Amino acid sequence: MAARGRPREFDVDEALERAVDVFWRQGYEGTTLEDLTNAMSISRPSLYAAFGNKEGTFRQAIGRYARVEMSYIDAALAMPTARAVAEHYLRSNVVSITLPDRPRGCLSIQGGLSGHPTDQRIVDFLNESRGAGEARFVRRFQQAIDEGDLSASEDPAELARYLATVTAGLAVQASAGASRPDLARVAERALAAFPR
């Protein structure tokens, strides 16, 4: 663990936090190296040494975003019933995508829903990331059925996809400027269609 060579003058995680912010606001293709290095207060070669390239920076930014900004998902999945999972998920999602002094919406959606063919790997990566998140809910709802807390007539995959669809929609609305109370009402209505 001996740090050989000249020590880095910036904090990698702090720089990544700035990168998250820029990608969140501008998306992958809408973010230039100059935008990144300005926001991160580091030089281009420093970015390349620390993160590989623009794509590497984005992937690590997504990782940090999932770890930090989407930690409420862990809390939601830990709720005792499927219903409580859904409630906690939607309600904290609304909070997360409408935080003051933060970009509106969700990085994993705003980052790049579509893109130039040369950036297809980014689009695929984001799709897979969201799919992985959805899969956690599938497993959680299957567990709820196994535990008898959710009717066996429900389809865990359908419920997970329903919630993922609603949160995606909420993120789009938030990015367009919808207020937190408005989105909270939408979330409550969406919960009305979730089994009790």
Partner DNA sequence: ACCATTCTTGAACGTATGGTAAATAACGAC
Partner DNA sequence: GTCGTTATTTACCATACGTTCAAGAATGGT
String marking each residue 50-69 x if it binds DNA according to CB under 7 A: x--xxx--------------
The Cα–Cα gap between 188 and 77 comes to 18
Q: ∠34-175-30 over CA atoms, to 5°?
A: 25
Of these partners, a second copy, DNA, none, which one is at the site of residue 110 (CB under 5 to 8 Å by kind)? Answer: a second copy
- Between CA 171 and CA 167 the distance in angstroms is 6
Shortest Cβ 123–a second copy spacing (Å): 8
Residue of 3, 152, 176, 192 interacting with DNA (CB under 7 A):
3
- Verify binding: residue 52, a second copy, rule CB under 8 A: no
156 binds a second copy (CB under 8 A): no
User: Six-digit token pair at 78?
Assistant: 């830990």
**What is the rounded CA–CA span in Å between residue 51 and residue 41?**
14
Q: Which of 44, 67, 121, 185 binds DNA (CB under 7 A)?
A: 44
The reply to whether 93 sits near a second copy by the rule CB under 8 A is no
Residue 60: contacted member of DNA, a second copy, none (CB under 5 to 8 Å, by partner type)? none
Tokens representing 19 are 């990168």
108 to 147, contacts with DNA by CB under 7 A?
Answer: 116
- 119 interacts with a second copy by CB under 8 A: yes
Spatial CB neighbours of 148, under 8 Å, sequence gap ≥ 6: none
d(CA 151, CA 193): 14
Choice from 116, 121, 135, 147 touching a second copy (CB under 8 A): 116
Q: CB 151: neighbour CB atoms within 10 A?
A: 11
User: In terms of Cα–Cα distance, which of 121, 99, 101 is closest to 111?
Assistant: 121
Per CB under 8 A, residues contacting a second copy are 24-27, 29-32, 35, 105, 109-117, 119, 127, 130-131, 155, 157-158, 161-162, 164-170, 172-173, 175-178, 182-183, 185-186, 189-193
